[in-house]
Amino acid sequence: MNTKVIPIASETAPASADATRQRKRKAPKGRRASDAALAAVRELLGTASRQRDMLIEHLHLLQDRYGHLSADHLAALAQEMRLAQTEVYEVATFYHHFDVVREGDAVPPALTVRVCDGLSCEMAGARELLSRLPAILGAQVRVIPAPCIGRCEQAPAVAVGQHPIANATVEAVQSAVKAGRTTHTPKGFIDLKAYEAGGGYALLKSCIAGDHEVEDIVKALADSGLRGLGGAGFPTGRKWSIVRNEPAPRLMAVNIDEGEPGTFKDRVLLEREPHRFLEGMLIAAWAVGIERIYIYLRDEYHGGRAMLEAELARLRKHPPYPGMPEIILRRGAGAYVCGEESAMIESIEGKRGQPRLRPPYVAEVGLFGRPTLEHNMETLYWVREIVERGADWFASQGRHGRKGLRSFSVSGRVKSRACIWRRPASRCASWSTNSARACCPATHSTATCRAAPRAASCRPHWPTCRWISTPCRRTAASSARRRSSCCRSTTARAPWR
């Protein structure tokens, strides 16, 4: 009887499967990038790092160069950074300031005009600008509504490319477009030379020299009652102690991503006196033992970013002390949620800005899995003044049993200019007075003052304010309303929290 030997599949399959597994893939799965796109991406990135946390920075480079993110460029970027294309795509589509163009879709115009449709700008006529500008500027310019761009005191605010226009009109926007004004650099700020001439970084140098003990600095902040001024209100001194007790290496993340309508205090502080905040940041780094600092700045503050990059370059060239921690500036991409500390950390790592579950807390497992000291910019702005003037000075500024001062963005009525001023941290939520016209000099210098005289009964309830901008222009009607509101007793209202 003839027999035929039939090979069993299981006897030959393993060899074939092993050979397949051993075969290395030459490129990531999915769309293959064209040689032209790959060459363009490599030329644009140059010698920059290809690490995962640089993804958003590289997406900004492509967006700024080409005005959009094409599918071909995204595939080339994924290949160059050795990432899955889904990782690149999900990050690019998460943030509002990235224009992802799929295959077959039309490319957006080279210039984009963003009209803020926040509350203050809506009241000041943003809707009329949105309806009139597209027809006037033509099809070569894209006009889109944008969430609050942090210029509520300049309502209606418009951004032509990266150039902000205060109290915008159709004529002003049209003029900026024709002239090609698409970038912005703040002027009149206190630079490194002027700051050091006024005693800047002297406190930091004395800390490094051993004239101050870390425990004394931390105790001063704890006694002052300084709390997180980004919204959480966690005691600053306690936060420093917690992170300092965590194992090294420790990192710091500074949050300058304010997205709430009516909030622009960080921008004004940054564009007026950036080194006061930087000195407070470096004192915190010295006290806690920070090895690297990341500053996260919202993308809407283009001029502030250009100015801060220049000042940081000068600071690195002339450091206040040897061995200064590395300072890295990271650029947001238009996501309101990144104002939350853990979402900001996710964004710094090059991911979608999604808040993390707790525990573990950021102080224990934060940026890149390391203990992280996270602060709002304004919190660090007060550090130098608290140490120099003493904890009692800062603590005595509060009202109704609360301690300290903080900055508030106070917007005026339609077509009036708003001011930022200091008020005690216990002032009532309904306190809406912009205070007075003549209490401070009409200069950019800081002055401690009280509101201009109104009525004797009103005087006990005035806040002690520190102006950091010129007084408001207000209508007579609004002035009368605020005068009557100011003279009502504040004790009957719910305390501000």
pLDDT, the chain, mean: 81
Residue 283: pLDDT over 60: yes
Q: Are residue 144 and residue 284 in the same domain, yes or no?
A: no
Taking residues 345-374, report their average pLDDT: 96
Least confident of 183-197, 229-243, 453-467: 453-467
Q: How confident is the model at residue 357 (pLDDT cuts 50, 70, 90)?
A: very high
| 131 within domain boundaries | yes
What percent of the chain is modeled with pLDDT above 90?
66
Q: What is the pLDDT of residue 233?
A: 85
pLDDT computed for residue 166 by the predictor? 94
Give domain status of residue 3, yes or no.
Answer: no
pTM: 0.79
pLDDT over threshold 80, residue 264: yes
Strands 372-376 and 250-256: parallel
pLDDT value of position 438: 31
Q: Are residues 125 and 244 in the same domain?
A: no
8 phi-psi bin (left φ>0, alpha ψ -120 to 50, beta other): beta
Q: Is residue 379 part of a domain?
A: yes
Q: What pLDDT was estimated at residue 74?
A: 96
- In the predicted structure, residue 241 carries a pLDDT above the cut 80: yes
* Residue 371 shares a structural domain with residue 419: no
Same domain, 348 and 304: yes
Of 392, 347, 393, the closest CA to residue 374 belongs to 347
Q: Would 247 be classed as within a structural domain?
A: yes
Give the separation between CA 487 and CA 497, rounded to whole angstroms. 21
Q: Can you give the pLDDT at residue 486?
A: 33
Above 80 in pLDDT, residue 246? Answer: yes
Q: Predicted confidence band at 454 (pLDDT cuts at 50, 70, 90)?
A: very low
pLDDT by residue (tens digit) across 1-48? 555 554 544 444 455 555 555 555 555 556 788 999 999 999 999 999
Are 228 and 301 within one domain?
yes
pLDDT recorded at residue 170:
96
Last residue of a domain, one of 179, 209, 225: 179
Statement: residue 416 has pLDDT above 80: no
Average pLDDT over residues 279-289: 98
d(CA 172, CA 439): 32
> In terms of domains, do 370 and 473 share one?
no
444 and 352 both lie in a single domain = no
345 shares a domain with 208: yes
173, 305: one domain: no
Residue 139: band (very low, low, confident or very high) from pLDDT cuts 50, 70, 90: very high
% of the chain with per-residue pLDDT over 70:
75
pLDDT tier for residue 260 given thresholds of 50, 70 and 90:
confident
Q: Are residues 81 and 55 in the same domain?
A: yes
Q: How many domains does the chain have?
A: 4
**How far, in whole angstroms, is CA 257 from its chain's centroid?**
3
120 and 90, same domain (yes or no)? no
Averaged pLDDT, 152-172: 95
Establish if 28 belongs to a structural domain.
no
User: Which of these ranges, 208-212, 245-249, 264-268, has the smallest mean pLDDT?
Assistant: 264-268
CATH of the domain at 50: 1.10.10.1590
pLDDT of residue 396: 83
Cα atoms in the 13 Å half-sphere on the side-chain side of 386: 34
Alpha carbons 177 and 378: distance in angstroms, whole number: 34
Domain with 468 in it: 409-428+435-486
Choice among 15-24, 241-250, 435-444 with the minimum mean pLDDT: 435-444
pLDDT at 53 over 60: yes
Of 61-70, 456-465, 466-475, which one has max mean pLDDT? 61-70
pLDDT tens, position by position, 295-330: 999 999 999 999 999 999 999 999 999 999 999 999
- Using 50, 70 and 90 to split pLDDT, how confident is the model at 399? low
Q: Report which of 186, 161, 155 is spatially closest to residue 444, judged by C-alpha positions.
A: 186
396, part of any domain: no
Last residue of a domain, one of 156, 179, 202: 179
| Whole-number pLDDT of residue 3 | 53
Q: How much is the average pLDDT of 323-346?
A: 95
pLDDT at site 10: 45
239 and 97 share a domain?
A: no
φ and ψ at 95, to 5 degrees?
A: -95, 140
Torsion of CA 12, 15, 19, 21, to 10 degrees: 100
285: domain CATH number is 3.40.50.11540
Lowest mean pLDDT among 38-47, 276-285, 471-480: 471-480
CATH number at residue 169: 3.40.30.10
Residue 344, pLDDT above cutoff 60: yes
